[in-house]
Structure 1
Amino acid sequence: MVSWAVTGATRGIGFGFVDNLSSDSNNQVFALIRSRSSAGPLEELAAKRGNIHIVVTDIADPKKLEEAAAEVSKVTAGALDVLILNAGSAVPETSGLPPTAFHGKKEALENEVNENIKNNLFSNIFVIEAFLELIRKGTEKKIAFVSSSSGDVEFTRITGISAVLGYSIAKAGMNMVMTKYAVELANEGIRTLSMSPGWVATDAAEAVTGDPEIRKFFLNAFHKLDPTVTGPIPVETSVAAQLKLVKNLTAEDSGKFVTHNGNSEWF
C-alpha cells in the first residue's frame, strides 16, 4: 500500500485529497486535522472507507506533531510515502490591504506578516521535520506543498493584485523552503514539489470572491493572464491535477514551483 498524509483535511482541497486518494483501496490515507468537532463530512467518509485514518494534531506545535507522526508510524511500520502540506490560511483581517496602507502602522504590518509566516511557513516546516524520518523510510519519498499563485512574482506583477501581503510573502517563502529541502535531501532520494492549486471553488474562496464586485475585480485581474477564465474550477478537478503531478514527480523536477497544470498556466 502507498501511504499518504494530508494536513488541513477537514474541508476544501485537503478533504478533496482524502476523498480522491481513499477511493483507491491500495492507498492508506492519514487525514491530519485540528479538531473532530468540525470534521463531519470527513468522519462520514472515514466511516465508509477503512483506509482513512483521522489524526488530530496542531501543526503549530512540534511536540503534538511528533505525537501525530508516532501515531502514523504505528500503522505504517515506521514509514510514510507521501506528505501533502495543504493546511494554511490568509490572516489576519488586514489581508485585504496593499503595502502602502501600512504606512505608520508598524504593529499592524508586523502582525500581517508574522501571523502569515507562523501559519503558512513555520507550521509547514514543523510538519516536515516531524514526518521526515518516516518519509526517509518510505518508498515514494515525496513531500508536496499546496502553494498559491499569490506567492509568484510574475503572477502578481501581471495581475496587479497588491493585497494579501503577508500571505503572499509566506507562500513565496515556503516555495523557497521546499526548494531548499529538495537540494539538501536529493541524495536520499527525497523529492519535493510546490503547486498552485488554481482558482478553486472552496468555501474559503467563496468567502472572498462570492461578492459580485470582488468577483468582478478578480476576474478582471485574472483576464490579464487568461481572457478565457470564467470562474473557479471544482475541487475534484484541482486535486486530480495536483495528484498527477505528485505521482509523476521526478528527481529532475524536484524543488520546482508549478501550477496544477504542471507549468506556468495558472487557470
Structure 2
Amino acid sequence: MGSEMQRTHRIGALRFGIRISPGPGDAVLVLVHGIGMSHRYLARLHRALTAQGTVMSVDLPGFGGLPKPPHDVGIEEMADALGSLLDSIGTGPVLLVGQSMGTQWVVELAVRRPELVCGVVLIGPVADSRRRTVVQHAGMLAVDTMGEPPGANALVLGDYLRCGPAWYLAQLRHMLGYPIEERIARVTAPVLIVRGGRDPIASRSWCRRLRSAARRAGFVEVPGRVHNVQHTAPGAVASAIGRFRADLPIDQRREGRDG
C-alpha cells in the first residue's frame, strides 16, 4: 500500500482537490464531503477504507481552502464537473460515498453518469423533504452540535470558516431545494443509506423513505452516533460499506468490469 498522494485538478473554472491512498485490488472508492466541509472530516473513514481498495477524498470547489468559483454552481453543474474529474483521472466505475450534502452530489452524478458508478453510499442524506427551511436546518444543526464530541465540532467550525458565509449560503439554497427523494429513484446502481442512530438531521423515517424510493437500497444505523458518524465511528461505517460491496452483483463490481 502506497502513501497518500495529493493533487489539484481544474475542470473549466472549477478547481478540485484530491487525496488518493492506493489500496489492494482494483476497487476505487470516492469520498465526497458535505456543505462547508472538506476531506478533513472524512479522513478517519478514508484511512479505514484503504483496506478495501484505492480511496480518493475530493475537495469540491470553494471548500477546503480552494478558490471560490467565479459563478454560482448548482447541484447539476457540480455533479457534471465531478464526473469530468473522474474521466480525467481515468478511474473507471467507482463506489461513490457522499456525506450530508455530499449525498446530493453523488446521487446526481449517479443519475447523470451511470457508467461511472458501481454503487452509491449515502451517509446522513439531506435534506428531509418535510424540513427544508433555513430555520429548520439551523435548528437541526444546533441539536446535532450538542451531540458531537468537541473535536468533531472544532473540525466543522474550522472548515466552515475556510468556506466562508457567502459560499455556504449560496450552496445552502441548492441543498434545501434539491429533491433527492425524486432523483434517487433514477439511480440504477445499488445504494446503501447509513445514519447515526441519534442523527437529528437525517432521521430514521427520512432515511427509510429514501430507501423505499430507491430501486435497490439497503439501510444501516450506527447506534449512539449523530450526523458525523463517519468521523466518530469510522470502523463501523467502513464495515457496513465492506458488506455492501461484497453483496454487489458481480457485473457491477469494478473488479469484474473487463469480464
Scaled by the length of structure 1, the TM-score of the pair is 0.40
* Structure showing the higher helix proportion among its residues: 1
Q: Counting strand residues as a fraction of each chain, which structure ranks higher?
A: 2
Question: Quick check: which has more Rg, 1 or 2?
Answer: 1
